[in-house]
Structure 1
Amino acid sequence: MTLRASLICCWILVAAFATGLVLTPQRALAQQPAAEDSIVYTVRKGDTLITLARTWMIRENDWQEVQRINRVVDPYRLSVARRLTLPVRLLKFRPASATVAAFRGDAQASSDGSLPRAVSMGLALGEGARVLTGPASSLSLALTDGSVITLPSNSAMRISRLRKLLITNSIDYELALDNGAVRSKVSPFRNRDDRFRLRNPIAVSAVRGTDFRNHYDAQDGKARAELIEGGIALTAPAMAAETRLDAEFGAVIGKTGGIAVEQLLPPPVLKAGGEIQRAPALAFAIGAVPDAQAYRLLIARDSGFVDIVEEMANASPSFALPALPNGNYFARFTAIARSGLEGMPGTFAFKRRLATAIQGTTASEHGYVFRWVGSGEGVLRYRFQLRTQDNPLYVVDEAGLSGSSIILSDLPAGRYQWRVGTTAFAPEETYSDWTEFESFSIDE
């Protein structure tokens, strides 16, 4: 008997035995891998389970598990266009990385169970790494696809999965928030099989090109998710069904799976502090937002809030902060609802000019810094565009940039939007993508 005939006979015997045990449809479904842990592959001409395993799977005999999951009778014969469910854990991949793009204060990282150590600019982290931030600290990580992950103070996160699947050329990222908060600015997906998930102990956020925040309090066991733009699908073992959030909505998730969805509070309006700040201490005032119980302020050197220099929460809409070195900065204000959900951000530019400052200048005094993270393989070139919010014509349109930042000086007061286009000149192909628009204001 040939090997092929033996395999067919074995499969028929296994199926008959399973039928004798009265395998119900529900039990059969239980053998399927969860949707989030598998991909769907469309069979092409010439594919067999054997060739698929040899080419795309970690072990050559993994075809047997794929055969069982998909109930394939003949592993040497597959119908073209048939859809196969393939567990991700079986598939070959190329490791991706998370690189330290900015940090301040006590930001640490550990890998493979080692003791945490202070991070450094450009440090590359892979699967299994854990990052932590202490009080008055922050950490921003740039992922291979151009996404940026930022942890504020007192947060801890693990990199569970960070890879590119070879069979689909798709990304497969999974981060686990153990405590604190994280903001994820996820690049738009290029591949329908791209996957980005952020977990905490009670819920999972699955996204497709979006800007969102997640919080998890290890003491009370509650989680929160806030969607700025894009889309999120929330799931949890205790949830009866998946919950999808629209932009400008958030959700509070209890440890038992209960979920409450509400619209996020609007962005605060800046009343004072957007001009040049000359006093030894910085002062800001924003308009009170109805139903807000507190307010939060972030200050960064760039309008994308990758390089954060200060953060503060306050019960009142007024803020006073210690001195900053001279430079041009961006302030981002949010209102916090009684539910704990943090609202939509209002971003404003301001200048710091203190003639008696003795600290070295770390922010540019010559203009406003716009920073981005490039994505793609090969040679990268960027195109920066800036426009006022009320005029579709661009006041700045700079192409052919090779760096990842630009400084603009003498911008007049007004409301602005900016974006960056990336062109990747890779050996196999050349492709381009644009970021979403970022907004900010410059007051008189």
Structure 2
Amino acid sequence: MKTVILLLAVLGGIFTTAAEEPFRPEAGKFPALEKAHAYRGELVFVDHANRRGSLRVQGNGVFRRNDPQPFAMLPYGMICYHGAPADLRDIPLGTVMHVRAFLPPDPKISAVPVLPVNNKEKDADHRRGVGVAPAENHVLLLEDEPSHCLREGKVWKLKEVDLKNNAGLITARCEAKSGGDGKADEETLNFDAATRIWRGRECLTPEELVAEGAWPASGKKSLGGQGSLLGITWKPTEGGVFTRFHISDIWLDDAAMQRAAHQQTETHKAFIRSRWMPAWVDAVEYGKFGRATVTVTLFGGMDASLYAEFEKDRPVWVNGVENTLKHTEGGTAGPTQMASKGSVRDIAKTPGEPPLGSSGIQIRFETDLITEGIRPTRIIRIRPANWPDVHLPREEYLDSGKFSHEDRFPTPAIFPTY
């Protein structure tokens, strides 16, 4: 009987260990958003060329004491700013970002420090709290407050303004746009004379709202639950307040938010056309003398007009890139000179809603120059031949054959150890 009990205990331990095996994304598979760890924090450092940076993560302690934590975007990781696709270079430091992230897919080649898998469960100290240093630092989705609200169908209901000398506090509640259930907590946020208030095509200041009579010159006034979208940042706060965020922007109507999204979309479209569309290789059918037919899946998060520019029977250029999306072939000669040229044979759209990170669009092209960077599960960049042929700044490419994961530029040593 004791033997049976012991055996059951051992088997139970095995099954428990298997069930608790930490999840890591796999090469060639888009991870489910539901398996990601969610948190938010202030963007305090950006290394845009390597798609990484640091966030001061919000916990239940004193926010300003939290050490900035490094993060890296997954190759297919999506960035959203003002409700539109973005690059890290577009986001001002201090912006509060919502994060969905995973453990490093391969810790050996992580572009940021690797932490113990249970680090989010540790209490940094009584002044910082639990969860301010998550090991899940490889990001699938990074989005600012208005992008997060638009994706989840939420809105900020403005309850009351308390104003003095064109600065003060706003009490608001973030809830479902379709109608709040009363469960959302009210939050008090700072604003000041530099806060931008967007209404249609207008950009107003608190002083101008006072002049209109919409806000009081001094004191409190009810805002009646006015639905708005907020840009949220963090600034040091007077009065010993542990955690209070700051309003950088208020969008009072849909027209104002759509205008901001349009401007950001155009910025990102120009960026992608000059850096090429990222994708990964699904399959390679090898031919003779370097010929091959390659199937790739374009990554998600881009404006629809960019995907529409890939057309059947049109020429494309393809280049291998590193997981940071840096071009690895071409070096100082520019990515086009060493890229593989091909012709699009088929374009297919996978049925249903694609997982986050994927566009659901597969392109099959034929090339007479298959390179080492164009292999199954590898990351590539691809562009229609009519996109701009430009040379990239030094920090955005790696010399062909002259780099290793240990010698990447710059190295992870740029991040401090706290």
TM-score by length of structure 1 reads 0.23
The structure in which a higher percent of residues are strand is 1
Q: Which structure is richer in relative contact order (CA contacts within 8 A, separation 6 or more)?
A: 2
The structure in which a higher percent of residues are helix is 2
TM-score by length of structure 2 reads 0.24
